[in-house]
Structure 1
Amino acid sequence: MLKTEGRNRSLSFTYTGTSTHMGSKILRQPDAEHLIQSFPIKEFKEENEDIDDFALPRLPSPTKPKEAERIRILERITSKFHLTDAHLRHIEKRMLDEVNRGLGKATNRSANVKSFVTYVHEIPSGRESGQYLALDLGGTNFRVILVELEAGSRSVKMKACKHEVSQKLMLGPGEDLFDFMTDCLVEFMKDHDLHGQKFHLGFTFSFPTRQIQLDRAELTNWTKGYNNAGVEGEDVVTLLKRSIKKRPELNIQVEAILNDTTGCLLACAYKRPECAIGIILGTGTNASYVEDMSHVEKYEGPRPRGCQSVVINTEWGAFGNTGSLDIIRTQFDHDLDSNSLNPGKQVYEKLISGMYLGELARYILVHAIQLGVLFGGKEQPKLSQPGGFPTKYISEIEADITRSTFTNIKQVMWELQITLATDFDLQVIRYICECVSTRAAYLAGAGVASLINKVARRRVTVGMDGSLYKFHPHLDRRMRLATRRLVSDCIQFEMVLSEDGSGRGAALAAAVAEKQRNKYQE
């Protein structure tokens, strides 16, 4: 719960002067209409916070009467992108509720956030040592990685080789895909003179799975353009082991399978022991965190003796699938969702991740053109095409050092073949980008706050990774601003970049699993 009383800082709010009322047909939560009506749209600013001129969207300043009218229209169509404190508190609470529902045996089936058990019971201590292998499959590239750990130093030495996964492999028989990965592993070991040794291996497999044990996970469904026959519903590790068994020169023990979010947490924890949360904010989004075992009702199989906690893979991108985010969704959000490949699913992901933010901005830009706010109402062919405004444009446009500097945005206009843009048009485009990315940052910050409050440690480090987080110039500061307002006053937290969680995280999972197994055998 957010508390502002008694804090050693003052709060001031700037109001846009616009209130909003959403049609009740899209409000499914009982308190949603109350929240919308009771709190006018406002933007917050906290003194003594790390705030700069880019913390909040800023409307262009009109220099002509016609521009003033266009700004009034612009303000109207973007008003619902400005979130109130009440919105953020509501979202933080609902996220926490959904995570808890996912943990419950009786409520998991109906929960949007499934809170999958990873069976990772220990976080790296920094005392791990030796060489470990990792495989990383999560998109159009596949990597083989060798990680060398030196006990006590918390240093990681890595060697890696990347291979492109062809369309034929992505759509062919599952056996061919796993044979391809094993062939890449054999080639890597030959190139680095590793044959003749036994290696423990961690496998980052960034697709939806139902984890059964640390080294067993069934693929629930393919995503990201993959559709290999014979894999869905099967244990992915068993399929990998079958391919490895075909190569007698390999002496490999597969210790763990995990997704990139869990890898992000482990990679960060290796260097920062207080890390208990891992967040991916890139093309997609997900979160993992360390949970007390007593709260995990749906844990399957015997519970390891002496283990007090386990990492939970939330799959939080599905938050809001049953309407709990409709309080802040706009007509643009609904249109984007309707035209997506998975309508009604991954609602939270569609509000905050890199796969969707550019397209969302494009919807607003096209509408602004139709209303005469941009380019004198003249249609722009490239901008009218679905996917014509990728999310990287948002990052590039907002990277201009001031709002009156147009270096990057003019390059974007050139790529879009737009030649009619005035300085006022460029300011409007930047403002729309800021509205989309700021709302995404605040919503992501509310999700992070819910997990920090749930972990409830005095000091917590959050490991962050993903292209959107790394490359957007202001997302990190905006996220921290929103998170700080929602986290309990007695908790100190920091958000840090976790480097290559999908690679080194998998190797660290293998190292921890080997150490854990040896401990139980003693």
Structure 2
Amino acid sequence: MGRVGLGVAVGCAVVTCAIAAALVGRRARSWWRWARVVGVVGQFEEDCATPVWKLRQVVDAMVVEMHAGLASDGGSKLKMLLTFVDTLPDGNEDGVYYALDLRGTSCRVLKVQLGGSGSKIINHKVEQQRIPEELVSSTSEVGKDVSQCLEEAMSKNGLHMQVAALVNDSVGTLAVGHYDDADTVAAVIIGYGTNACYVERSDAIIKYQGLLTDSGFMIVNMEWGNFWSSHLPRTCYDIALDDESPNRNDQGYEKMISGMYLGEIVRRVLHRIAEVSDIFGDSAHHLSVPFILRTPLMATMHEDDSPDLREVGRILEESLQTTGLSLKAKMIVVRVCDVVTRRAARLAAAGIIGILKKIGRDGSGGVASGRTKGKPRRTVVAIERGLYTNYSMFRVYMNEAITDILGQEIAQNVVLRVSEDGAGIGAALLAAAYSSKR
């Protein structure tokens, strides 16, 4: 019995050791997999970093590119297009004006009634129609004046109206902003795409020397989505996204800050994590599908404040068929969303400060004074909804970056003001401004 008992004891000890070894091995493998996840996210966070000194480099680079774009066509990644809008509404306009807002597949017609000084917009009506497919996909003659074509078409249908202005949504947003607040000097669109325009002195537009305007200024459409600088914190995921895009080496700034791309950048990072670990289960295949994770979904996950990150789990399950995610895995997803959003918002803020610095409204001096009688000058930038309005963390990070770059004293005089419907109401307001000018 002694020998049998000893044999059983030894056998149990061997089994116990084997089980212990298996558990230790499993834990070690789990630890190494998790270490790889932490490494991927840590490297991504480091590559996306936007310390104040780097943001100020981006500001200066934006100013340099703006000067180059105003000096000659093709001299900069920024097109700096002249809009020939040299009058802005000031709230004294009255009468009834119409605007036509053409989009990809639809057309909106707005009727706006203005009441003059103090009355602002009395009433406005909107009708929307789908554009017939044959018109959307058809070709048209190049070189024709669009405004003239529209006037001719209206005349044939018994509508005797004049086209007062042809503008894009950023210029329209600036018009709405200036109508509400005369200190508005620029407008920014940060939504599915991104763009900016601002009020520039006529004599600063060197590529059109001799350009004269009654007001002494002109609105410049920057097309700032194409801005690029070596100071922008670009990662391997940004490079891959650009290489696989139909507009490679173009719209570099837009690909880092606009709603079209933020979700896709997050998707690429999560796919890399799925390749080096099993924290997402068998979802690597789904994560390999480009643009499967849209920015609104990314924003919802980022702002999930439930204790168990319930919304993160729901979205990943519905979009990527990922089930049973651990809380630790969900927290990694939120962290990646945060890194992408923070970088985008802070870079967008740097772009805005670049505009203000170019026109001397950043408090640093320059051609135009950023101060009035020793005090910082109030400056308003109109922003049309999009990420700034609908994504609270984006808004928080953008406002934080403006204070970081400018300092509290100057930043408190820079107002980011949401403007509604620049493409529609803004166009009508510009028509009113030009009609009153005539």
TM over 0.5: yes
Structure 1 residue corresponding to 2:262, chosen from 353, 357, 360:
357
Q: Is the 8 A contact 1:102 1:113 kept in 2?
A: yes
Deviation, structure 1 residue 300: 7.7
**Following the alignment from structure 2 to structure 1, what is the Cα–Cα distance between the partners of residues 77 and 122?**
37
Instruction: Tell me: CA distance 1:271–1:156, structure 2 relative to 1, closer, same or farther (3 Å).
Output: farther
Aligned: 1:495 with 2:400: no
Aligned: 1:316 with 2:196: no
AA partner of residue 282 (structure 1): G
Q: Is the 8 A contact 2:112 2:121 kept in 1?
A: no
TM alignment of 1:279-358, pairs within 5 A: 279-299=188-208, 303-305=212-214, 307-320=215-228, 324-325=229-230, 327-358=232-263
* Alignment match, 2:304: 400
* Alignment match, 2:331: 427
Aligned: 1:468 with 2:383: no
| SS of equivalent residue, structure 2 residue 50 | coil
**Following the alignment from structure 1 to structure 2, what is the Cα–Cα distance between the partners of residues 230 and 74?**
51
TM alignment of 1:133-152, pairs within 5 A: 133-151=98-116, 152=118
Aligned: 1:237 with 2:237: no
| Identity over aligned pairs, percent | 31
Aligned: 1:510 with 2:431: yes
| SS of equivalent residue, structure 1 residue 427 | helix
Instruction: Tell me: CA distance 1:294–1:301, structure 2 relative to 1, closer, same or farther (3 Å).
Output: closer
The unaligned stretches of length 5 or more in structure 1 are: 1-63, 173-227, 518-522
1:72-130 deviations in whole A, cap 9, x for unaligned?
442123321121222211111011111111111xx332211111111221221111111
**Following the alignment from structure 1 to structure 2, what is the Cα–Cα distance between the partners of residues 326 and 234?**
41
| SS of equivalent residue, structure 1 residue 144 | strand
* Alignment match, 2:172: 263
Deviation, structure 1 residue 241: 2.3
Structure 1 residue corresponding to 2:313, chosen from 410, 413, 425:
410
Aligned length: 389
**Following the alignment from structure 2 to structure 1, what is the Cα–Cα distance between the partners of residues 249 and 144?**
26
**Following the alignment from structure 1 to structure 2, what is the Cα–Cα distance between the partners of residues 414 and 399?**
17
AA partner of residue 331 (structure 2): Q
* Alignment match, 1:88: 55
**Following the alignment from structure 1 to structure 2, what is the Cα–Cα distance between the partners of residues 153 and 327?**
45
* Alignment match, 1:5: none
TM alignment of 1:2-401, pairs within 5 A: 67=34, 70-104=37-71, 107-151=72-116, 152-172=118-138, 228-231=139-142, 233-247=143-157, 249-299=158-208, 303-305=212-214, 307-320=215-228, 324-325=229-230, 327-372=232-277, 374-376=279-281, 378-401=282-305
Deviation, structure 1 residue 511: 0.6
Instruction: Tell me: CA distance 1:230–1:153, structure 2 relative to 1, closer, same or farther (3 Å).
Output: same
Q: Is the 8 A contact 2:83 2:219 kept in 1?
A: yes
Instruction: Tell me: CA distance 1:295–1:156, structure 2 relative to 1, closer, same or farther (3 Å).
Output: farther
| SS of equivalent residue, structure 2 residue 127 | strand
Deviation, structure 1 residue 410: 2.4
Deviation, structure 1 residue 168: 3.4
Instruction: Tell me: CA distance 1:119–1:487, structure 2 relative to 1, closer, same or farther (3 Å).
Output: farther
| SS of equivalent residue, structure 2 residue 253 | helix
1:162-184 deviations in whole A, cap 9, x for unaligned?
12235432211xxxxxxxxxxxx
1:353-411 deviations in whole A, cap 9, x for unaligned?
111111111111101111116325x3443322112111111111122235x45232222
Query: Structure 1 or 2: larger helix share?
Result: 2
| SS of equivalent residue, structure 1 residue 382 | helix
Instruction: Tell me: CA distance 1:92–1:414, structure 2 relative to 1, closer, same or farther (3 Å).
Output: same
| SS of equivalent residue, structure 2 residue 112 | strand
Deviation, structure 1 residue 413: 1.7
Deviation, structure 1 residue 487: 3.1
Deviation, structure 1 residue 445: 0.4
AA partner of residue 340 (structure 1): S
AA partner of residue 188 (structure 2): I
AA partner of residue 349 (structure 2): G
**Following the alignment from structure 2 to structure 1, what is the Cα–Cα distance between the partners of residues 310 and 123?**
39
| SS of equivalent residue, structure 1 residue 452 | helix
**Following the alignment from structure 1 to structure 2, what is the Cα–Cα distance between the partners of residues 65 and 154?**
64
Instruction: Tell me: CA distance 1:346–1:167, structure 2 relative to 1, closer, same or farther (3 Å).
Output: farther
AA partner of residue 298 (structure 1): K
Instruction: Tell me: CA distance 1:427–1:98, structure 2 relative to 1, closer, same or farther (3 Å).
Output: same
| SS of equivalent residue, structure 2 residue 159 | coil
Deviation, structure 1 residue 347: 0.7
Instruction: Tell me: CA distance 1:408–1:354, structure 2 relative to 1, closer, same or farther (3 Å).
Output: same
**Following the alignment from structure 2 to structure 1, what is the Cα–Cα distance between the partners of residues 48 and 103?**
32
**Following the alignment from structure 1 to structure 2, what is the Cα–Cα distance between the partners of residues 139 and 366?**
32
1:120-154 deviations in whole A, cap 9, x for unaligned?
21221111111100001133321000111111222
**Following the alignment from structure 1 to structure 2, what is the Cα–Cα distance between the partners of residues 479 and 167?**
40
1:249-307 deviations in whole A, cap 9, x for unaligned?
201110000000000011111111211110000111000111112211234886234x2
**Following the alignment from structure 2 to structure 1, what is the Cα–Cα distance between the partners of residues 132 and 308?**
41
Instruction: Tell me: CA distance 1:414–1:116, structure 2 relative to 1, closer, same or farther (3 Å).
Output: same
| SS of equivalent residue, structure 1 residue 310 | strand
Greater mean alpha carbon deviation, residues 438-447 or residues 451-460: 451-460
Instruction: Tell me: CA distance 1:412–1:122, structure 2 relative to 1, closer, same or farther (3 Å).
Output: same
Give me the TM-score of the superposition, normalised by structure 2.
Answer: 0.84
Greater mean alpha carbon deviation, residues 409-418 or residues 161-170: 161-170
**Following the alignment from structure 1 to structure 2, what is the Cα–Cα distance between the partners of residues 157 and 284?**
30
**Following the alignment from structure 1 to structure 2, what is the Cα–Cα distance between the partners of residues 423 and 167?**
48
